[in-house]
Amino acid sequence: MPAVHKTTHQIIRSFEAKAMKKRPLAVRIADRLTSSFGSMSFLVGNVVLFVAWIGVNRGYLRPAIEPFDPFPYILLTMVVSLEAIMLTVIVLMSQNRQSYISSVRDELILQTNLIAERELTKVLQLLAGAKNARDPELEAMLKDTDISYIERKLEEQLQPPAQKTLPEIIRVGIGKAT
């Protein structure tokens, strides 16, 4: 792999590493939970728990454990529903962060490709004999591209808008009604 490609790959990897370090605590927890929820051990644990729950409540362990949630297992249904809600929210938090990182990475690659296209066009002009004696644009192109500058600008542009609080939403809604 050419050194230039290695450098570009390192820049993109370092961008992701920086994004991972900047995650808020809640997102780090959500990422860790998402990785454990997506495992076979989590699935097996759920199956064991549900089988045990149903076994206890069918009376198979009586008199050691008395049934506490008889058929149709309303309490079990509630627990499973709450688990599904929590899993959904946690997975969506992780997916939103991954989507943001992917968007910034894609934009960074696009901007880098646009710069490369411009430089290639200039090289073609030089090959065609369209070179001026002193070309400031060519001199700028001969310098290394500052990808970190592009990255900072993209981060500024792609910052998610500030979330409004419920009182602000209500206040704006009341203001429109009057």
Which string of DSSP letters, residue by residue, matches the chain?
--HHHHHHHHHHHHHHHHHHHT--HHHHHHHHHHHHHTSHHHHHHHHHHHHHHHHHHTTTTTTTS--SS-TTTHHHHHHHHHHHHHHHHHHHHHHHHHHHHHHHHHHHHHHHHHHHHHHHHHHHHHHTT---SS-HHHHHHHSPP-HHHHHHHHHHHTPPPPPPPHHHHHHHHHHHH-
What does the pLDDT average to over 70-74? 95
Residue with token string 């030089």 = 126
Residue 154 and residue 111 in contact, taking contact as beta carbons nearer than 8 Å: yes
Ranked by mean pLDDT, the top range of 28-32, 42-46, 102-106, 170-174 is 42-46
Tell me: cis bond preceding 136? Omega within 30 of 0 counts.
Answer: no
* pLDDT of res. 121: 83
Q: Give the Cα separation of 64 and 28 in Å (integer).
A: 41
Tell me: cis bond preceding 161? Omega within 30 of 0 counts.
Answer: no
- Is the pLDDT at 71 greater than 60? The verdict is yes
32-36, 93-97, 167-171: least confidently modelled range: 167-171
Tell me: cis bond preceding 63? Omega within 30 of 0 counts.
Answer: yes
- Is the pLDDT at 86 greater than 90? The verdict is yes
Residue 55 and residue 61 in contact, taking contact as beta carbons nearer than 8 Å: yes
Which residue ranges make up each domain of the chain? 3-160
Share of the chain above pLDDT 70, in %: 78
* pLDDT of res. 161: 63
* pLDDT of res. 155: 76
Q: How far is CA 27 from CA 20, 74, 108, 110, in A?
A: 10, 32, 23, 27
First to last CA, the chain: 65
Indicate whether this model's pTM tops 0.75: no
What does the pLDDT average to over 122-151? 73
Write down the mean pLDDT value for the chain.
81
- Is the pLDDT at 14 greater than 80? The verdict is no
- Is the pLDDT at 107 greater than 70? The verdict is yes
